[in-house]
Structure 1
Amino acid sequence: MASLIRKDPHISNTVNNMDSYHALRGWVNGLGYSPDAQLMPYLESAGFGSAVLTRTFDLRYEISALVESWRPETHTFHLLYGECTVTLEDVALHFGLPIIGSAITGVNAITKSAALCYGLLGASPGDDESNFSDLKFTWLKAKFEHLSVNATEEELMCAARAYIMQIIGGVLMPNANNNKVHLQYLPLLADLRNVRSYSWGSAVLAMLYHELYRTTKPDAIDIGGCLVLLQS
């Protein structure tokens, strides 16, 4: 094991130096509202029926302690009683997300952002000339929180996509800023019946591992990824 451990700077090296030590900052963006009952059949069909029921909670400073014990070489936490890690089974049990299927790789660039939003959400935060790569949670909530009792099937599908986007960006795969969700996930939600064919659980775990690796650097300040899963 000693031969596996690299000599790269690690956040654990700053623990005994109070001048350079700091606790990592992480946030979980709670959706602030529960899905309308009309949306549940669409969310279930997409494979997010359990994930939408996730209840968020305040993060504790133990998050930093976990990162300090994370070894990027083995993807495990080195603790006094041995090693442990977060697995795909944990993701499946916590969120009910599929852990087999097509890989989620995203897209490098979306050239017609407004057109994509109009096509899949029925609305856009920008005009037809705008190019943007993220959607603000505040816009998604304001636009889709309240649904008409006479909403059409197309309107319900748009609202379901918007809710899934908030779950992805706010709970499952948030970045360190945690106030927006990247537009790259929206095309994957075009056909809600096909959404469960992707291995969303693998993407959640991969991003968490990536964030754990990134934040082992001593200069890291914020941590993203699925911190609800990590703390749990």
Structure 2
Amino acid sequence: MDDIAMDDDPTSDDADIVDEDILTQPFPGGPTDPSILKSFKSHVATAIWNGADERGLLKCHNYLFKISSWPWWERGNNATFVNIAEMSGLAQLACYTYRFVNKIVVSNFVESWQPETNTCHLTVGEMTITLDDVATILGLPIVGKFMRKLSERRAIALVVNTLEIDEQEVTHEMYSAGDNSVRLEWLRAYFHNVTDNDSMERIACVDRAYLLFLLGCSLFSDKTGTRVPVVYLSLLSNLTTVSSYAWGAAALAYLYRQMGYASRSDVK
């Protein structure tokens, strides 16, 4: 099977704080072989082991209010747009954002998370989140095609061609957002309204913009909560094949990576 393979997320601020020197030393009182579980030296468990104050509860981001700001499900005369969005298999993500999360439980799981194995090390053994969990909870495909990273020039061309926006304006927006991304609010403001009276080209552009917006608010959100990498547009250019990608596998890989970042002692 062809699992989707996402490149490193360019939007994560935590990617810049890795100290490679401390990732190659053993955890005191833990593994003595530095080739096993190397990142324990920078793990939050190490800080606690050494007597540091616990960092408190992690903040769990929720962008439900952003999704609610683009209420396509409440609008009339937009059946064509709705049908295309639903055919993609991603439209249901608008309903899956949580209204409440137990920060104590989440924080405790993060403190027991080990990036090398992508598992929680508990007193009862190891446990993890599986592809089956993702498929069951989100209803997303876990096998399918993959994507590749884009250069800045190709990223700009991708936005221009798929969303039909002037190149100069796209360049300015991506420069403002940074990291080959566009702002979520920019997408909503530009494409918030569409009806069946619009051309099929316009409806298709709005669908791509909305699905990109939805991905930035759900599966691939970052702690800024303001932008989304345009690389995902490469998967949305042909709206009839969006459902053929392994979105569930990508979501799980992204979650694993973010859990790994959150397990570092200097991440708040």
TM-score by length of 2: 0.71
Residue 125 of structure 1 deviates from its aligned partner by 8.9
Secondary structure of the residue aligned to 2:248 is: helix
Contact 1:23 1:64 in 2 (8 A): yes
Contact 2:155 2:231 in 1 (8 A): no
Residue by residue, what CA displacement relative to the aligned partner does 1:93-147 show, whole Å, maximum 9, x if unpaired? 222211111123x324131555432321233695266472211111112222222
Count of residue pairs brought into register by the alignment: 220
**Structure 2: how far apart are the matches of 1:19 and 1:76?**
24
The residue number in structure 2 matching 1:116 is 158
Q: Which moved more, 1:133-142 or 1:21-30?
A: 21-30
Amino acid at match of 1:65: N
Residue 21 of structure 1 deviates from its aligned partner by 2.1
Q: 1:100 to 1:122 in 2, by over 3 A?
A: same
Contact 1:169 1:181 in 2 (8 A): yes
Q: Where does structure 2 lack aligned partners over 5 or more consecutive residues?
A: 1-29, 175-179
The residue number in structure 1 matching 2:261 is 214
Q: 1:202 to 1:27 in 2, by over 3 A?
A: same
The residue number in structure 1 matching 2:248 is 201
Q: 1:19 to 1:129 in 2, by over 3 A?
A: closer
Secondary structure of the residue aligned to 1:51 is: helix
**Structure 2: how far apart are the matches of 1:64 and 1:34?**
32
Query: Which one has the bigger helix percentage?
Result: 2
Structure 2 residue 127 is the aligned partner of structure 1 residue 93? no
The residue number in structure 2 matching 1:8 is 41
Aligned partner (choices 28, 38, 41) of residue 62 of structure 2: 28
Q: RMSD over aligned Cα, in angstroms? A: 2.7
Secondary structure of the residue aligned to 1:99 is: coil
Q: 1:9 to 1:93 in 2, by over 3 A?
A: same
**Structure 1: how far apart are the matches of 2:170 and 2:186?**
17
The residue number in structure 1 matching 2:84 is 42
**Structure 2: how far apart are the matches of 1:13 and 1:90?**
30
TM-score by length of 1: 0.81
The residue number in structure 1 matching 2:22 is none
Residue 44 of structure 1 deviates from its aligned partner by 2.7
The residue number in structure 1 matching 2:15 is none
Q: 1:128 to 1:208 in 2, by over 3 A?
A: closer
Q: Which moved more, 1:33-42 or 1:166-175?
A: 33-42
Secondary structure of the residue aligned to 1:101 is: coil
Which structure has the larger Rg over C-alpha atoms? Answer: 2
Contact 1:48 1:164 in 2 (8 A): yes
Amino acid at match of 2:122: L
The residue number in structure 2 matching 1:230 is none
Residue by residue, what CA displacement relative to the aligned partner does 1:139-177 show, whole Å, maximum 9, x if unpaired? 112222222341222222111111111121111011222
The residue number in structure 2 matching 1:181 is 228
Task: State the identity %.
Answer: 28
Amino acid at match of 1:34: P
Aligned partner (choices 51, 54, 57) of residue 96 of structure 2: 54
